[in-house]
Amino acid sequence: MRVPFTLFILFAMAFSGFSQTIRVSGKVYSASGPLPFASVEFLNGPVGTATDSSGRFAIQLVAPGRYSVKASAVGFLPVVKQLTLSDSLPVVVDFLLMADQNSFSEVVITGTLKEVSRLESPVPVEVYSPAFFKKNPTPSIFDALQNVNGVRPQLNCNVCNTGDIHINGLEGPYTMILIDGMPIVSGLSSVYGLSGIPNALIERVEIVKGPASSLYGSEAVGGLINIITKKPQNAPVFSGDVFATSWQEVNTDIGLKLNAGKKATVLTGINYFKYGNRIDNNGDNFTDVTQQDRISIFQKWNLERAENRLFTVAGRYNYENRWGGDITWNESFRGGDQRYAESIYTKRWELLGNYQLPLKEKLLLAFSFNAHDQNSVYGNLVYLANQKIAFTQLTWDKTLKNHDLLAGTALRYTYYDDNTPATQSQNSLKNTPDNVYLPGIFLQDEIGLAQKHKILLGMRYDYNSVHGNIFTPRFAYKWSINDQNVLRLNAGTGFRVVSLFTEEHAALTGARDVVVTEALQPERSFNANLNYIKKVYFKNGGIVSADVSAWYTHFKNQILPDYLTDPAKIIYSNLDGFAVSRGLSANLDLALPNGLKIIAGGSLLDVFSKKNLALNPVKTRPLLTEKWTATWAVSYPINKLKLAIDYTGNIYGSMLLPRLGSTDPRSAASPVWSLQNIQFTFNGNKKYEVYAGVKNLLNWVPGRNEPFLIARSRDPFDKNVQFNASGNPIATTENPYALTFDPSFVYAPNQGIRGFLGFRMNFNK
């Protein structure tokens, strides 16, 4: 449809009465081609013009002399050039304009059927683009999520620095993490696999807080994080991103796109992260931050088919070698009781694909398979685990009048084996790996009622080969009051089978004995969530969007680890009572025409459980759960310097901490703590970008006001601990607090202030 269109505006015509004129002509173009409708002005002359559709301009001037010529176009930075005109020689002058980084657009590009239009659905989905995560660059998705309100990556171990992701105050296992809509990150990998997902392969991250069970399965009680991988079609031909910190962490991302024949596009991504600097700033003889060596290779194929039907296949391989512990440790001590370290080798591969059936109806088959092989030692305790998950799902999308139907069937198979008693049969010592089949069907109907009201009804039925039937109904309602006001109400149930060893890191590390007092029942919950979005457009072009949510989750059963009853044990039992997570959160997103952008959010959380309802109800707040939290990202561009400034941060209220009984001198509750970062990005042109900044500006570390973070770090095998007859440690001069080795007192990264410098490049052709 694009055809040449000629247009000349010659204000100079007014001067045509003079006989001698000088012709000045040229082209205005940008990195992506000629710029039509760019204006060309003579700053010290009376004339101006605009370029035609091919970016050309021409103008007649009356008098020789020196002129300043300015070319400008909306969305680009203006360029001024000096011209000296003599006599009547025609002059040609070209302008190359750079895009103004301050121009906003939503970077969701062609594609993404249900994924994006679901945003219009009654379920509130927050979408985060890579641009958001670039404000505070991190090597993996785990660290990146610290910038999202209501989402907190929680470290679970001082030594090996593995962690999980809390949403709205609920523990990591309640968060469902999906890659391209498939449950690839579950079980073992929800603790050990998150750091292995590099930011570079992400097209965007969608977050649903609250129940999302009818579509994704009953586990998504706290919420879900769906990581959408890049589409080969939209990826640049070559991209590179390298950054290093003053702690000598190095992260490298390389992306490459190739066409394989006419019908296929292949995207390859390689991520390498290395941290091999044994820093012990708190002087406890243990590494402050876990040493890591990690490579991830990702490849995605997109095959073109008739009628634009979809077929993509992707594969990923991830290898990680991480260890933390005694700063004098090396691999020859691995598994022994001479020097303590936690060392984990993880090998993991994933295969995932989407295939649209060649039918008139829209039927989509999704499939994935992943294998996670882990060889780990915690001191002299060896944990070898192997997990395989196969998943397949067929969905049928159908629109009938005002009904948007989505029906589907899914099957998940999980194989899990390890060297612990968890996979041993009770009577004999024969190894019996876990095999769980989870078939399910679901139906969702999104009903458009009049123009402004939408209702979503969902029902899911799963059959767990161990626990039986699972029904999870779901209801959602959306009222689009007008363009600028939207109200949503969501309600649903959740159901989750607890898997202690794969989810609870502390259950594994061996510092405490795990005691399970009875057969653990599945957890059951219901949840309601109210969300309101308001957008305000200012006359000067500023945009504010604000949203407020209130949520309530009630657990009829919840398996909570009890660290407090006996410091040598973690006791698990069914909840005799109920548990609640409720709260309020607000987000503000502001963009002003001068380029200032502010994204800020805060949440108030009230999480508790009530036991002994009949006799003497006791309300307890779980450990490691904050009462309030806030996050922010403030960005401002200085266009003249081609510089952008990002100031990001988060702050968390006090949390209760896992101490080893009342003699433990460490704090029972954390202080209010905050991590803040600043970044400067210099944008040379569209192809290159240099960024630098400081992370953890306040130099905050969790051990600042503690006598120690790791209890008895110099005697990690409890060789010098004396125990009494009942097996409890007793106080001695060497062990004044009567403690044993304990690395589970952790709630924040033990990494102080550090600088970083990075370089990005992008080639599209």
Partner 1 sequence: MILSRILLIFSLLLLSFGGSAQTTDFAAIEKLQQQERRPLIVLIKTAWCKYCGGMKNSLTNNQEITTLIKSKFYLALLDAEDKKEILFAGRSFSYKPTGKNVDVHQLARELGSVNGQISYPTLCVLNAKNEIIYQHAGYLDPQSLIKILRLLAEGN
Question: CB–CB of 549/585 below 8 Å?
Answer: yes
Q: How far is the CB of 223 from partner 1 (least distance, A)?
A: 19
**Residue with Cβ nearer partner 1 (479 or 700):** 479
Instruction: Give the integer Cα–Cα distance in Å for 661 and 680.
Output: 46
Q: How far is the CB of 302 from partner 1 (least distance, A)?
A: 8
**Residue with Cβ nearer partner 1 (611 or 686):** 686
- Per-residue tokens: 560: 């909570």
**Residue with Cβ nearer partner 1 (541 or 736):** 541
**Residue with Cβ nearer partner 1 (487 or 575):** 487
**Residue with Cβ nearer partner 1 (351 or 568):** 351
Amino acid occupying residue 176:
M
**Residue with Cβ nearer partner 1 (37 or 763):** 37
Q: How far is the CB of 690 from partner 1 (least distance, A)?
A: 23
User: 3-state class of 538 per DSSP?
Assistant: coil
**Residue with Cβ nearer partner 1 (197 or 530):** 530
Q: How far is the CB of 656 from partner 1 (least distance, A)?
A: 24
Instruction: Give the integer Cα–Cα distance in Å for 7 and 83.
Output: 24
**Residue with Cβ nearer partner 1 (138 or 354):** 354
Q: How far is the CB of 132 from partner 1 (least distance, A)?
A: 13
Q: How far is the CB of 115 from partner 1 (least distance, A)?
A: 7
Torsion angle of C-alpha atoms 188, 194, 198, 201, degrees rounded to 10: 70
Contacts of 604 (CB under 8 A, 6+ apart): 583, 584, 585, 627, 628
The candidate with the shortest Cα–Cα distance to 370, out of 189, 199, 213, 197, is 189
Q: How far is the CB of 179 from partner 1 (least distance, A)?
A: 14
| Helix (H), strand (E) at residue 142 | helix 141-144
Instruction: Give the integer Cα–Cα distance in Å for 283 and 701.
Output: 13
Instruction: Give the integer Cα–Cα distance in Å for 321 and 295.
Output: 9
Neighbouring C-beta atoms of residue 685, cutoff 10 Å: 11
**Residue with Cβ nearer partner 1 (110 or 469):** 110
Question: CB–CB of 744/511 below 8 Å?
Answer: yes
Q: How far is the CB of 527 from partner 1 (least distance, A)?
A: 15
The full DSSP string for 697-758 is TT---TTTTSS-SSBTTT-TT-TT--B-TTS-B---SSSTT----B-----S-----EEEEE
Instruction: Give the integer Cα–Cα distance in Å for 208 and 192.
Output: 22
**Residue with Cβ nearer partner 1 (274 or 686):** 686
**Residue with Cβ nearer partner 1 (238 or 413):** 238
**Residue with Cβ nearer partner 1 (84 or 105):** 105
Cα distances (Å, whole numbers) of residue 207 to 107, 226, 495, 574: 17, 6, 20, 30
The full DSSP string for 47-77 is -EEE--TTSEEEEEESS-EEEEEEEE-TTB-
Strand order in the sheet with 65-72: 48-50, 39-42, 65-72, 79-85
Q: How far is the CB of 380 from partner 1 (least distance, A)?
A: 49
Q: How far is the CB of 7 from partner 1 (least distance, A)?
A: 5
Radius of gyration of the chain (CA): 30
Instruction: Give the integer Cα–Cα distance in Å for 391 and 217.
Output: 12
**Residue with Cβ nearer partner 1 (537 or 763):** 537
For CA atoms 419, 422, 425, 427, the dihedral sign is positive
Instruction: Give the integer Cα–Cα distance in Å for 579 and 491.
Output: 17
Instruction: Give the integer Cα–Cα distance in Å for 523 and 536.
Output: 42
Q: How far is the CB of 310 from partner 1 (least distance, A)?
A: 3
Q: How far is the CB of 314 from partner 1 (least distance, A)?
A: 13
> If 0-12 CB within 10 Å is exposed, 13-18 middle and 19+ buried, where does residue 645 land?
middle
Instruction: Give the integer Cα–Cα distance in Å for 732 and 735.
Output: 5
The candidate with the shortest Cα–Cα distance to 510, out of 420, 577, 593, is 420
**Residue with Cβ nearer partner 1 (413 or 552):** 552
Q: How far is the CB of 363 from partner 1 (least distance, A)?
A: 11
Torsion angle of C-alpha atoms 635, 639, 640, 644, degrees rounded to 10: 30
Q: How far is the CB of 765 from partner 1 (least distance, A)?
A: 9
